[in-house]
Structure 1
Amino acid sequence: MFTKLLDDKILQNSFLTNETARNNFLLQKIGIFIWRSKLQRIPVCVELDKRGVDLDTILCPVFKTETETVEHALLLCSTAKDLWERVFKWWNVRSSQYSGLCDMFNGIIPGTNTNIRSKLWQAIEWVGGYMLWRNRNLKAFEKKELDRSDDIQ
């Protein structure tokens, strides 16, 4: 009921979507995170700066080399690129087929129209994005990093 209210009343004028993101395979908080990411509403440095939050820098808090935007945090950062390269290789998908964040998180595998396969692909994309965000926050605020297995080929 709450998501229906959001869809009908609050999001009706959204330029990206008029629905919150949903995938029945995943926890609702991951769908909400992806929905907020597509709307540029996660607290990256550039967005915080636009809202008047006093920051020392708008550079990526992890590597401090580039401006931190939503696309940087979830697609362009070296950690994100490494993750997506491995996922694309695992699923035999060409990464060049995605033009940006919304295109990436839409759950459509180029060249397939199988509903269950697309839903699984979407779940992998969304969990990957969510875990990148968690890892970024652990590095930035707690100086920790999620355990990572380097034996994945």
Structure 2
Amino acid sequence: MATLASDRNAYVIEYWSSQGWNIIWRREIRGGIELFQHTQLMSCIQVIRINSDQDVWQWKFADEESFTVRSVRNSLDVIRLPFSSTATRWCKILPMKVNVFVWRVMLNRLPTRLNLDRRGIDMDSLICPCCNSIVKDNNHVFYSCNVALELWNKIAMWLDLHILGFDNMFAMFQWIDGHDGDLKSISFLIL
């Protein structure tokens, strides 16, 4: 259709008037495919309205109309980051990677067999290779697998504590928060 326009170097605004589109063709539109393409073009552009204002960039992902790095960050955070109603626990005496690891455990973002399967990665089996009894997810890896239970027992003996069996990270934090014994003995567990 562009080859049929009377002025191929014209601006779009030159074909717009207050009454609508006014495209001037070099010759009459013929039938067949040319008429079909013309009809399609006109039906597509009928909904477009042109104004003579100067062009401006607008940012529509936030309440602000101007672009800011903060608005991009907030938009991406809403879309990409998981939401948790529980506050993240950070411990300044632990290395950052340990804090991030615990945060990922709490959000169920570790690459366990179950999480990898949910992301479309083909796994031979979702069963835990250590105990061959249950699907390997975060809670199983840290709290119910035989290997994890043995480790918790050794930690309890080492610290001379009675550690309850936990089902998840939140239960462990509740136990730590409610522990009325010697806090020095469980200081490594406090995050």
- Contact 2:143–2:166 (CA under 8 A) maintained in structure 1: no
> For 1:32 and 1:72, how far apart are their aligned partners in 2?
19
- Mark the structure with the bigger radius of gyration: 2
Q: 2:161 aligns with which of 93, 105, 124?
A: 93
Q: Write the distance in 2 (CA, Å) between the matches of 1:99 and 1:37.
A: 13
Match of 1:36 among 100, 104, 109: 104
User: Which amino acid counterpart does residue 84 of structure 2 have in structure 1?
Assistant: S
Displacement of 1:80 after TM fit? 0.8
* 1:1-153 equivalences in 2 (<5 Å): 13-15=83-85, 17-19=86-88, 21-96=89-164, 98-105=166-173, 108=176, 110-112=178-180, 119-122=187-190
Q: Deviations over 1:108-137 (max 9, x none)?
A: 2643287766543326xxxxxxxxxxxxxx
Percentage of matched positions with identical amino acids = 24
Structure 2 residue ranges without an equivalent (≥5): 1-72
**Residue type of the alignment partner of 2:114:** V
Cα deviation digits, residues 77-136 of structure 1 (max 9, x gap): 11111110121233333333644322214672643287766543326xxxxxxxxxxxxx
Task: Compare the two structures and name the one with the higher helix fraction.
Answer: 1
CA RMSD in angstroms comes to: 3.2
User: How many Å apart are 1:43 and its aligned residue?
Assistant: 0.8
CA contact (8 A) 1:109 1:121 kept: no
Render the CA deviation track for 1:20-48: whole Å, top value 9, x for unaligned: x3112211001101110011110111111
CA distance in 1, matches of 2:158, 2:182: 18
Which amino acid is the alignment partner of residue 68 of structure 1? K
Q: How many residues align?
A: 115
Per-residue Cα deviation, 1:59-89 (whole angstroms, up to 9, x for no partner): 1133433210111111111111111012123
- Greater relative contact order, per chain length (Cα 8 Å cut-off, separation 6+): 1
TM-score normalised by length of structure 1: 0.59
Q: Flag structure 1 segments of 5+ consecutive residues without an equivalent.
A: 124-153
Q: TM-score, normalised by structure 2?
A: 0.49
Q: What's the secondary structure of 1:58's corresponding residue? A: coil
